[in-house]
Amino acid sequence: MFKSLWIKFFLLLTAVSLIALSSALILRELMISDFKKYIEGEMEDRIYWITASLESTYEKHSGWQNEEVIEDTVWALMLGFHIRLYDMNGSMVIDTARAVNALSPLMKKRILAISEISGAENSGSFIPYPLFLGGNEIGQLEVRFLNTGKDAVFIYRSNLMLLLSLFLLGGSAMVMSLVFSKRLMKPVKGLTDGVTAISGGNLKKRVAITSRDEIGNLSMAFNSMAQTLETQESLRKKLTSNIAHELRTPLTIIRGELEGMMDGFIPVDNEHLESLYSEIKRLIHIIEGIEELARAEASILTLSRQPVELMTFLKNIAGRFHQPFSEKGVSLEIRCEEGVIASADPERLSQIIMNLLSNALKATECGGNVLVIASRQDAELAIEVRDNGCGIKQEDLQFVFERFYKGKEGGLGLGLAIARELVEAHGGRIEARSDYGKGSSFTVYLPI
């Protein structure tokens, strides 16, 4: 059960909620403790007021007079205390009940109403406080706190509020944890289903993108991966078909001629042996193309970089292509800035440019021209091969660098794929642009 990721998220969010609620409980205990300490301090201050007032009354009248201490006793009642006052001999001078009874009926009613003595409860026993005047003890005051219940009401209401908060906020937190954990895991489950479908061979599977966060970005990356896999699978099937077709033709011819020679229908002479030899060369060409692509993919491990002066380098390559361009009636022009140096493997860079020039020559008819331009562009070197040949259809342009993709008959469809692998091995990139019927442009960008 706990292997489920959404359960783990739910438990995590629930734990966070419980910690937050526990913090509220701790805060409540601290507040109640501070409140009680505040009340105790307040009561102590009031007792000191009462003792100071009684000592002042004794000094003013040079003794304890019942009539004089009634006011202090009533005042003590209003402050929330029952008191008993004793003289030096231990005889009671007055207490709260006698002081209240000594008042007039109207005053007694008002005092009792103000002091809320009718609804109050006595809290604890009397606590003695000695009274002094001039360093001599003049009597003793006994005090008992009159609990009106106001502090209890405050504590009760705070407990009630906390309890409601626990139920409401805690319940809401639990529900939200459940909802959000499920919502959070829904796209993850969709991705899991998508991966399962892809691994099962369903390359058309896509997942819904419901957000723009990290999960949404992951879903977009998954869909992009699935699209790439589908495209690659389509190209693989086309490759299989193309290779089978390319291999079947020469093998069929070789088999037919050999069977004819074995049966005596075809003479074993130089003409027929040369025919067999040419078909074998076609098979070797196909195999070499596949091997060349494998070497291009591994070229990043075998690059031998060195400074290459592009003007001289490109002129040497143009010299190699002088004859085929001349025979077809296509002009070849090189434009390169002086002093442009590339850090590259000369053999691999030569292979890239020669592939591009070969394609440009095939695409250009007699009277056309091919232009090679090399220049600095910001932090890159750009080598562009531009022709005014037949061009490439827009629907084919996005696939021209894919392995074994052939836009038209002829070749294996490996030249541009090999060129891209070699360019990327140098840390660069290659781009294609075309206007169908008017020409194409292939640009290699290499880091300086």
pLDDT of residue 442: 93
Residue 370 has what pLDDT? 92
The pLDDT-based confidence of 279 (bands split at 50, 70, 90) is confident
Cross-strand pairs, 435: 439
Cβ-count burial 10-21 (b if 16+ within 10 Å, e if not) = beebbeebeeeb
Long-range CB pairs of 318-321 (<8 Å, 24+ gap) are 318/372, 320/354, 321/354, 321/357, 321/361
Cα four-point dihedral sign 207, 209, 210, 216: positive
Cα separation values, 439 from 312, 337, 360, Å: 26, 24, 9
Name the DSSP letter for residue 130.
E
Neighbours of 3 (CB within 10 A): 6
Q: How many CB atoms lie within 10 A of CB 77?
A: 22
Please choose, from the candidates 307, 371, 313, 393, the residue with its C-alpha nearest in 3D space to the C-alpha of residue 343. Answer: 307
Give the pLDDT of residue 333: 92
Side chain identity, residue 144:
R
The tokens of 350 are what? 């030569």
Identify the CA nearest to 442 among candidates 392, 383, 396. Answer: 383
pLDDT band at 404 (very low <50, low <70, confident <90, very high): low
Residue 127's DSSP bridge partners are: 143
Please give the residue that has the higher pLDDT: either 413 or 341: 341
- pLDDT tens by residue, 6-24: 676 667 777 777 777 777 7
Is pLDDT above 50 for 1? no
Give the predicted TM-score (pTM) of the model: 0.44
d(CA 448, CA 445): 9
Q: Using 50, 70 and 90 to split pLDDT, how confident is the model at 371?
A: very high
* Residue 32 identity (one-letter amino acid): I
Band of the pLDDT at 431, cuts 50, 70, 90? very high
DSSP-assigned letters across all residues of 386-413: EE-SS---HHHHTTTTSTT--SSSSS-S
Q: Where are the beta strands (DSSP E) in 215-357?
A: 306-309, 331-336, 341-344
Which among 196, 191, 180 has a CA at the least distance from the CA of 216? 191
Q: What is the DSSP string of 187-223?
A: HHHHHHHHHHHHHTT-TT-------SSHHHHHHHHHH
Give residue-wise pLDDT tens across range 12-59: 777 777 777 777 778 777 877 887 788 788 888 888 998 888 888 888
Can you tell me the distance from the alpha carbon of 323 to that of 314, in angstroms, rounded to the nearest whole number?
A: 16
Distances (CA, A) of 387 to 58, 364, 370: 122, 7, 4
- Helix, strand, coil percentages for the chain (3-state, nearest 5): 60, 20, 20
List, for residues 88-106, the tens digit of each pLDDT value: 888 888 888 888 888 888 8
